[in-house]
Amino acid sequence: MSEEQGLAKKAPVKAMWIVMVLAWVFFLLPLPGTGIFIAGPLNLAAFILAIICLTRSSVAQGVMGLIGTLVVSSLLFMFGGALMIGSALHGMDKKHSEKVENVKEDEVIIVSAVDLLKAYDANEVAADSKFKGKIVEITGKVESIGKDITDDQYISIDAGDPIRSVQCYFQESASSELAQVSKGQRITIRGKVDGLAMNVILKGSKIVKATEKDVQWKAAKPVLQALLECRGEDRINDPALQPLLQPNSEYEWELTPPNDFTVFGLPVQKITFVNTESGAGILYTSIIPGKTINEIVAAAKLKNDEHGFYTRGSKCEEGEGEGSSYHCHTSLSLSQSNDKKLLGLECAYGVSAD
């Protein structure tokens, strides 16, 4: 046997092919990490063995080993990665398209999109315990309507964050319904919380149809806002208000508005109306939660008048002579409960006093 044949015999050709084939197998497994942490080192070992084959005069086997480790392995790595991504996306598609049915009304959690995201920001573990796997009903403004990379359709609801939102996924059968939704529209959606993945994810979502009460509030909203902000004349008899009022509520009533109802951009918890049939006139009061006096005064642009009250836009006429009275056609002022725990704004029409 010649010296050249002895060197070729000692070339680790068999080991190179075994290691390289093992690397190819792990490249093709659609499991996270196998391509980089297992197949990668094996392929490097096969590459080194191919170099050794070249140095030991087994040129043909060495060249084939280099081609296998550099070209074939790269192609298999990309193909395996595509398989893994496809598998993951298929799982996402299955998850997002889940249908939520037979939900009892008392099992539905009513929460705003803002509060839902805040809960996850504060403590994801606690939020999962409270919401994950449960059906929630959220109301908010539509941020976007679209499809993700798996072609699953969704509506993103503004949650008060510049980047994140509540992302509600729908089944393909809801396409025609989603086509009627527009950006900026206020909407109510019901779906199952799937946790936090940058956005809060809802799956199996459904658009909740507007109820008769929703339609009534939509019509009454601009009228009530004008009354509570003291814009224009008293419109207590406006037809848009009547469906919301109880019978025999000529002198006093109270309303709880929807979550999106605001006065001067401030959220309103409760609205009250009192017709005193006296000098106090007709009073419309909006109770504003979670705001300070300064915040309310600034939003409504109130000023501290000579009597020490925060008011704006009063149109008052004073009588002549000593002990005369004054009459205000409209007057917007800060409202406080006796214990100062409830703050709001009060619009008075036809106020008079001695």
Task: Give the residue from 102, 70, 79 showing the smallest Cα distance to 30.
Answer: 79
Contact 33, 82 (CB under 8 A): no
Among 246, 274, 281, 139, CA closest to 202: 139
Mean pLDDT of 151-170: 91
Query: Cα–Cα distance between 158 and 168 in angstroms, integer?
Result: 11
Place of tokens 């403590």: 123
pTM value > 0.75: no
167 within 8 A of 153, measured Cβ to Cβ: no
Contact 268, 220 (CB under 8 A): no
Average pLDDT, the chain: 79
Mean pLDDT over residues 343-348, rounded? 82
The string of pLDDT tens digits covering residues 236-287 is 778 888 888 766 566 788 888 887 788 888 888 888 888 766 545 678 888 8
Q: At what angle do helices 113-122 and 124-131 cross, to 10 degrees?
A: 130
Mean pLDDT, range 163-182, rounded to an integer: 90
Enter the tokens of residue 290: 């979670």
The pLDDT tens digits for 99-122 are 666 667 667 888 888 889 999 999
122's tokens: 């504060």
Position 326 scores a pLDDT of 41
Domain 105-207, CATH among 2.60.40.740, 3.60.21.10, 2.130.10.10, 2.40.50.140: 2.40.50.140
Greater pLDDT, 307 or 354: 307
Residues forming a β-bridge with 224 = none
The torsion angles phi and psi of 136, rounded to 5 degrees, stand at: -120, 155
Residue 190's identity, in one-letter code, is: R
The phi, psi pair for 240, rounded to 5°, reads: -65, -25
Report pLDDT for 273: 86
d(CA 186, CA 143): 10
Confidence of residue 168 (pLDDT cuts 50, 70, 90): very high
Contact criterion met (CB below 8 Å) for 117 and 159? yes
More confident residue, 163 or 314: 163
DSSP character at residue 353: E
Q: Whats the size of the chain, residue-wise?
A: 354
Band of pLDDT at residue 195, cut at 50, 70 and 90: very high
How would you classify residue 340: left for phi > 0, otherwise alpha for psi between -120 and 50, otherwise beta?
A: left
More confident of the two residues 94 and 132: 132
* 349 in Cβ contact with 330 (< 8 Å): yes
| Amino acid, res. 142 | V
> In terms of pLDDT, which residue wins out, 30 or 156?
156
pLDDT (tens digit per residue) in 43-88: 899 899 888 888 887 888 888 988 988 888 888 888 777 766 655 5
Q: Is the pLDDT of residue 338 over 70?
A: no
pLDDT of 9 over the 60 cut: no
Residue 313 falls in which region: left (phi positive, over 0), alpha (psi -120 to 50) or beta: left
